């Protein structure tokens, strides 16, 4: 219904802009980022399985899956087109990849560590603006890859926001997608999370001890954003 039309409207405009970017040979990276973000969004929408959805929702889901399939094929075609065009280019070119340029690819996710420093709320908003969300660190492999990147990128002693908070209910840690924390990497040797002074409701990944701590949400830190990888 209206939602689908909105998705269609959102989708085809960026698709044609992306094509224009690629055809003009200028800033092709930007068009690709928009595409990756949109495809990530659609994958989220289409893979959310309602348990007992009414018929009209099932129809909308099926239609969204078709649209997703169309967009993925279209993206592959654009990548082929771009790769062929790039082969005639004397300047260095980017290739189509699972993550936008500069993002770290770990398992089926893409992560980006910022230099900019903001509080938790504004960091959340900044990730959203990029078609992503604050990092949801679900596996040991993701955690270790991010720790390594944090030390390399942020040096020895840097805290990075991840998308975990107990602001709604003290001691109940939830990710930005509202799922409950299952696999924590707290800095237990320094008794984290300790809710020091009853003011610490947001979580950082620390590059120094390779663990997580709770800190006040209004502190100013760089962040880690995440989006789904687009597996070509």
Three-state DSSP at 164 gives: strand
> Which range of residues in 26-34, 122-130, 168-176, 208-216 is near Ca ion by CB under 5 A?
208-216
Q: In this chain, which stretch among 77-85, 106-114, 166-174, 186-194 interacts with Ca ion, using CB under 5 A?
A: 186-194
Closest listed residue to residue 205, CA positions, set 156, 144, 159: 159
Residue with tokens 């893409």: 110
Is residue 88 classed as helix, strand or coil in its secondary structure?
Answer: coil
Instruction: State how far Cα 219 lies from the chain centre.
Output: 22
DSSP state of 221: B
Q: How far is CA 159 from the centre of its chain?
A: 19
Shortest distance, position 203 Cβ to Ca ion, whole Å = 9
| Candidate list 147, 166, 200, 228; residue touching Ca ion; CB under 5 A | 200
- 152 Cβ neighbours under 8 A, 6+ residues apart: none
Residue closer to Ca ion by CB (options 39, 204) is 204
Q: Cα–Cα distance between 95 and 115 in angstroms, integer? A: 25
* Residue with smaller CB distance to Ca ion, 32 or 201: 201
Radius of gyration of the chain (CA): 20
Closest approach, Cβ 179 to Ca ion, in A, equals: 22
Whether the CB-CB separation of 214 and 198 falls below 8 Å is answered with no
Rounded to a whole number of angstroms, the minimum distance from the CB of residue 204 to Ca ion is 9
Per rule CB under 5 A, count of chain residues that contact Ca ion: 5
Q: 18 or 187, CB closer to Ca ion?
A: 187
Report in angstroms how near the CB of residue 209 gets to Ca ion at its nearest. 12
Residue among 147 and 200 whose Cβ is closer to Ca ion: 200
Least Å distance, CB 111 to Ca ion, is 23
Task: Please report whether residue 214 would count as binding Ca ion according to CB under 5 A.
Answer: yes
Residue selected from 128, 194, 199, 232 as contacting Ca ion according to rule CB under 5 A: 194
Burial class, 33, CB count within 10 angstroms (exposed 0-12 / middle 13-18 / buried 19+): buried
User: CB under 8 Å to 123, separation ≥6 — which residues?
Assistant: 114, 134, 161, 221, 223
Minimum CB separation of residue 170 from Ca ion in Å reads 13
If the CB atoms of residues 200 and 228 are measured against Ca ion, the closer one turns out to be 200
Q: Toward Ca ion, which CB reaches closer, 121 or 194? A: 194
Q: Please give the residue whose beta carbon sits closest to Ca ion in the complex.
A: 214
Q: Does residue 213 bind Ca ion (CB under 5 A)? A: yes
Distance CA 138, CA 41 (A): 19
Chain positions contacting Ca ion, by CB under 5 A: 194, 196, 200, 213-214
């Amino acid at each position: 219904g209206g939602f689908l039309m909105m998705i269609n409207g959102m989708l085809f405009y960026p698709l044609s802009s992306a094509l224009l970017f690629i055809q003009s040979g200028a800033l092709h990276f930007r068009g690709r980022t928009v595409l990756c973000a949109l495809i990530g969004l659609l994958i989220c929408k289409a893979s959310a399985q309602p348990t007992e959805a009414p018929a009209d929702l099932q129809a909308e889901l099926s239609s969204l899956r078709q649209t997703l399939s169309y967009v993925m094929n279209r993206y592959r075609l654009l990548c082929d087109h771009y790769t062929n065009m790039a082969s005639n280019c004397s300047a260095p070119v980017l290739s189509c990849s699972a993550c936008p340029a500069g993002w770290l690819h770990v398992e089926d996710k893409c992560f980006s560590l910022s230099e900019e420093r903001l509080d938790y709320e504004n960091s959340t908003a900044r990730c959203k603006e990029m078609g992503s969300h604050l990092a949801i660190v679900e596996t040991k492999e993701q955690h270790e890859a991010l720790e390594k990147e944090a030390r390399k990128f942020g040096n020895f002693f840097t805290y990075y926001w991840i998308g975990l908070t107990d602001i709604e209910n003290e001691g109940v840690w939830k990710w930005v997608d509202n799922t409950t924390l299952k696999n924590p990497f707290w800095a237990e040797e320094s008794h984290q999370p300790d809710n020091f002074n009853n003011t610490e409701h947001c979580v950082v990944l620390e590059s120094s001890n390779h663990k997580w701590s709770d800190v006040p949400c209004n502190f100013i830190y760089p962040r880690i954003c995440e989006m789904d990888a687009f597996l070509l």
